[in-house]
Amino acid sequence: MMYPHYDETELERLYKRLSLQQGSAFFCVIADPSLDHRELANQLCKRFLSGEAEVVEFKGIGNDWLYSSRALRPMFKEGARVVFLANFHLASRNMEDVAFFQALNQSRDALADWPVVLVFMMPLYFRKQIARKAPDFNSFFRFKAEFAGSGQKSTAQKYDAINIYSESNRELLDYYREKYDQLTDYDSVQAFDILYKILRLNSNVRILAAVENNRFFVEFSRLLPLYQELSDNSAHGIAMIYHSRGDYSEAMEWLEKALSISESMHGKEHPNTTNIYNNIGIVYGDKGDYNKALEWCYKALSISENVHNKEHPNTAAIYHNIGRVYEGQGEYDKALEWYYKALSISENVHGKEHPNTADTYNNIGRVNASQGDYDKALERYNKALAIYENVHGNNHPNTAAIYHNIGEVYEDQGDYNKALEWYNKALAIFENVLGKDHPNTAGTNKKIQNLKNQQSAP
């Protein structure tokens, strides 16, 4: 039997991402429907040590579609660390099988504590169905990956994992917004849970207009005293909602609650605790307290390098944040040192077209501009811009932030006409998405007025 040829670079990229995972991580490998999922999984398995990875042809479990650890565990060999569920989409038999998607929603928590990396292999069309019909299950996918066979550039573009990730978040956000508007009891725990999911998603995606986002936040704040769940994850999530709104005092208060719970439940040498340390460092950095920011970031780094390793995405995120702190202090050489460490890991693990990579390009460009190296700054900004426009589109705050940064470079070079062109592009997005009262909008507007005043001065 002839099997299709799989690109070695693609195989190596997926293998590296899988081999870095510790504990239960859910991957969605989005493949062209014409590709043989089992053979692709077999090719990946060969890169692991004997017994470390296994391929299972997924055929469903019983008539009730029960995806519990009790039902799944007998399918896998003892000792396997990575399990590929090939042809997962075939298990549903019928794309309109409501019970199947309900079972997926309910299976998330049962599978969450497995010491196994589960790789759900499915084509794009089925991935979209899960985003729409099993949102709770979909939201638990910590990582998403894509594979296209060699010599299929158009297919790779069509099934671009970054766009799918962004689209999935948008679909989830739309789903929860619609679900909230259909509620009959806006004072219920269900209403609070939906509001929490909307605000958490938007803190990452940031596509809600300011007025709509504020409406959800007002309702969320009203219900928070009644329905707050003090698990470390929920407290951490609430903290990041406040952080995304620039309310650092509230963010810190919730981070301290999350930290107390996480240290009590998991101890200090745990990824959950490490993430909270890191975010405490971020909040201190945003407040301008750089010494405390570094103290917390280095705490997080020490644990992450021990629990994960120096080439793990979580470690890269901490490198990135340490770079931000040194940039805030004006220690530009140190900032670049840490940013380049983060960039190396991000390009290796996520690829050169990933938003995390773009974030680091953007920050390196900002440091280059601060050092007066405008050519390098523009080069980095344009790399970030290409990714942001592809991932987020032309009407997103991240894209607008790059427009603003490019405007600043042209302003510093004395090219005021080009600077105004880029500032106006940024302002249009900020006003539309964040509103006229947002600091980003106000800052860009002030830049524009100052330049106009300079141009009109005798």
Model pLDDT, residue 341:
94
- The rounded percent of the chain whose pLDDT value lies above 70 is 75
Higher pLDDT, 391 or 249: 249
Higher pLDDT, 271 or 54: 54
Measured in whole angstroms, the distance separating CA 78 from the mean position of its chain's CA atoms is 32
The position carrying tokens 């599978």 is 111
Q: Pick the most confident of 149-163, 166-180, 243-257, 434-448.
A: 243-257
Q: pLDDT tens-digit profile of 318-364? A: 999 999 999 999 999 999 999 999 999 888 877 787 788 899 999 99
Q: How far is CA 402 from CA 306, 366, 408, in A?
A: 35, 10, 10
User: Residue 158: pLDDT above 70?
Assistant: no
Taking the CA of residue 81 as centre, how many other CA atoms within 13 Å lie in the half-sphere pointing to its CB?
13
pLDDT (average), residues 185-189: 91
Residue 172, helix vs strand vs coil: helix
**Could you state, in order of their start, the residue ranges of all structural domains in the chain?**
8-159, 354-458
- d(Cα 168, Cα 173) in Å, to the nearest integer? 9
Model pLDDT, residue 273:
87
- d(Cα 225, Cα 204) in Å, to the nearest integer? 24
Model pLDDT, residue 155:
32
User: Residue 216: pLDDT above 90?
Assistant: yes
Model pLDDT, residue 395:
82
Q: pLDDT tens-digit profile of 65-102? A: 445 555 666 666 667 788 888 777 665 554 556 667 77
Model pLDDT, residue 12:
75
Length of the chain: 458
| E strands, 153-250, in order | none
Side-by-side strand order, sheet with 82-86: 53-57, 82-86, 117-123, 26-31, 145-147
Q: Looking at 60-69, 215-224, 235-244, which range is the least confident one? A: 60-69
Model pLDDT, residue 292:
96
- d(Cα 186, Cα 195) in Å, to the nearest integer? 10
Return the CATH fold of 354-458.
Answer: 1.25.40
Model pLDDT, residue 345:
87
User: Residue 51: pLDDT above 70?
Assistant: yes
User: Residue 55: pLDDT above 90?
Assistant: no
User: Residue 449: pLDDT above 60?
Assistant: yes
Q: pLDDT tens-digit profile of 278-325? A: 999 999 999 999 999 999 999 999 988 887 767 777 788 899 999 999
- d(Cα 375, Cα 357) in Å, to the nearest integer? 20
The pair of structure tokens assigned to 170 is 């948008």
CB 398 within 8 A of CB 203: no
Residue 151, helix vs strand vs coil: coil
- d(Cα 323, Cα 364) in Å, to the nearest integer? 9
State the DSSP H helix or E strand holding residue 20, giving kind and residue range, or none if neither: none
Question: Which CATH number is 8-159 given?
Answer: 3.40.50
Model pLDDT, residue 2:
37
Model pLDDT, residue 35:
64
pLDDT (average), residues 371-396: 90
Model pLDDT, residue 1:
32
Model pLDDT, residue 34:
57
Model pLDDT, residue 318:
92
- d(Cα 16, Cα 27) in Å, to the nearest integer? 13
The pair of structure tokens assigned to 373 is 């190296």
CB 425 within 8 A of CB 408: no
Mean pLDDT (the chain) is 80
DSSP string, 384-412: HHHHHHHHT-SSSHHHHHHHHHHHHHHHH
Burial of 184 (0-12, 13-18, 19+ CB in 10 A): exposed
User: Residue 233: pLDDT above 80?
Assistant: no
CB 147 within 8 A of CB 182: no
Q: Looking at 8-12, 280-284, 385-389, 424-428, which range is the least confident one? A: 8-12
Q: pLDDT tens-digit profile of 234-270? A: 888 899 999 988 899 999 999 999 999 888 888 888 8
User: Residue 426: pLDDT above 70?
Assistant: yes
Model pLDDT, residue 144:
66
- d(Cα 399, Cα 422) in Å, to the nearest integer? 11
Higher pLDDT, 33 or 11: 11
Residue 378, helix vs strand vs coil: helix
State the DSSP H helix or E strand holding residue 57, giving kind and residue range, or none if neither: strand 53-57
- d(Cα 328, Cα 219) in Å, to the nearest integer? 35
Paired strand residues for 332: none
The pair of structure tokens assigned to 325 is 């702190």
Alpha helices per DSSP H over 228-312: 232-244, 248-265, 271-287, 290-307
Higher pLDDT, 98 or 184: 184
CB 392 within 8 A of CB 410: no
User: Residue 377: pLDDT above 90?
Assistant: yes
Model pLDDT, residue 239:
92
- pLDDT tier, 230 (very low <50, low <70, confident <90, very high otherwise): low
